Homo-oligomer: A and B are copies of this chain.
């Protein structure tokens, strides 16, 4: 039975040896040599230091292409023309499935044809040296971003390759990203990743770990995202991680987003051990984008505006081409600069919005309910409790494709555009909180003169790509009164 306990050193070594034999490039990993390599890196490439010492939100895009030289060029461009503070390397889908053979084929085809036949950078195939070439070429810290349920080999190679930040976690890279992986299995695999990061940390190389906050990106109620982020932070801390960046994806209501980011920081510090440095990352809208770059810029800017008010430590930007497909480097850089401009214009302003404290308190209470039920399900153990709580449905994620989650909870926006829960299914929550949600949603139903239904949820899913925040029925004008 899996528990939230630190993997013993010999066990760490055993697994490490085992997984490194999964693909040829694994053999090149040498931990002690890797520590020396990290020590040789200049301070401006040390992810945790740069992030934790920043005095305003740092911007980071998403980006990954198959070939090394293209990836270098892309990151140089995003650093130069996009003025990104932190850079990413997004891994391709085959690697995420541990299909290194298919990734190799894709990489070779990419090298032959010059085309991007993979949707990301196959870091395992590039191996330790390939990764180091990338790290050396770019004058900024780089994070590995992926979506891999079993990221053990990817971690072993990219850590040795000089990366100092690694996204994901056993829940956040399972529930939204896969169908058949069990939670017990992903927790075990991520305990290894975290333990490896912890091993580097013990030797003075603080690897930053970032749970993937947005989950399915689609109307995720803040407390669900926060609870899962905290659990992943706790699991990582147990394995020795000391730099944790908790994430949250914009829902589009400014008050709720600011409240959520504040709750995230506060609860993160409350639940995680004192020796963990907790930072936060805000993801610009992760759901469906409008099929129009001009409108997409409006969505991106609302994210920037929210970031200026909430001041998270990091912002992950979107590009105006999000709807269509992987963006060109120009569009990616444009998303960065649009975000930068609105943040820099708004951040020195004193913008205190009413109702943030109240919303934050609600989010905190909800999160406490979820954390309590997790611990209760695990008899005090967060790893076991997470598995059991997902099993019972007491913990759930809307639109989860995974068999490990009920995926039965359904969100909908209230009349102010805040994400509430419409269908609770078995999600654990105090009755008075449920009542608050119910009241807010029935107010909306009344405004719109229709019943709460899946139709409302579907309308909300499409709303932002259709140009609105709330999916009102197309007839009536909804909540907007008649101005004079």
Contacts and interface: CB of A to CB of B under 8 A. Distances in A.
B298 A304 contact: yes
Given A55-B477, A417-B348, A417-B349, A302 B470 contact: no
Contact of A313 (B254, B304, B483): B483
A345 B464 contact: yes
Contacts of A479: 348
Contacts of A483: 54-56, 311, 313
Given A298-B340, A342-B302, A345-B464, A353 B351 contact: yes
A344 B469 contact: yes
Contacts of A335: 294
Interface in A283-313: 290, 292-302, 304-305, 311, 313
Given A346-B254, A415-B348, A55 B298 contact: no
Contacts of A294: 333-338, 341
A167 to B, nearest CB: 22
A467 interface: yes
A466 to B, nearest CB: 9
A354 B355 CA distance: 11
Interface string A14-40: 000000000000000000000000000
A129 interface: no
Given A55-B482, A340-B467, A349 B254 contact: yes
B297 A297 contact: yes
Contacts of A334: 293-294, 297
A480 interface: yes
Interface in A360-379: none
A251 B484 CA distance: 26
Nearest to A52: B484
A350 interface: yes
B299 A341 contact: yes
Give the one of A296, A335, A345 with max B CB within 10 A. Answer: A345
A432 interface: no
A253 interface: yes
A416 interface: yes
A484 B353 CA distance: 23
Interface string A214-251: 00000000000000000000000000000000000000
A416 B464 contact: no
A352 B353 CA distance: 5
Given A56-B483, A302-B305, A305-B301, A478 B348 contact: yes
A135 to B, nearest CB: 27
Nearest to A478: B348
A183 interface: no
Contacts of A293: 334
Contacts of A353: 351-354
A346 B311 contact: no
Contacts of A477: 55
A325 interface: no
A339 interface: yes
A298 B298 CA distance: 8
A480 B354 contact: no
Nearest to A265: B484
A255 B351 contact: yes
A76 to B, nearest CB: 18
11 contacts: A56-B480, A254-B351, A294-B341, A297-B334, A297-B338, A298-B301, A298-B340, A340-B467, A345-B417, A348-B470, A354-B354
Given A344-B467, A348-B469, 17 more contacts: A55-B477, A55-B482, A252-B345, A255-B350, A294-B341, A295-B337, A295-B341, A298-B339, A298-B340, A313-B483, A347-B480, A348-B415, A348-B470, A348-B478, A348-B480, A349-B469, A354-B354
Interface of A: 52, 54-56, 252-255, 290, 292-302, 304-305, 311, 313, 333-342, 344-355, 415-417, 464, 467-470, 477-484
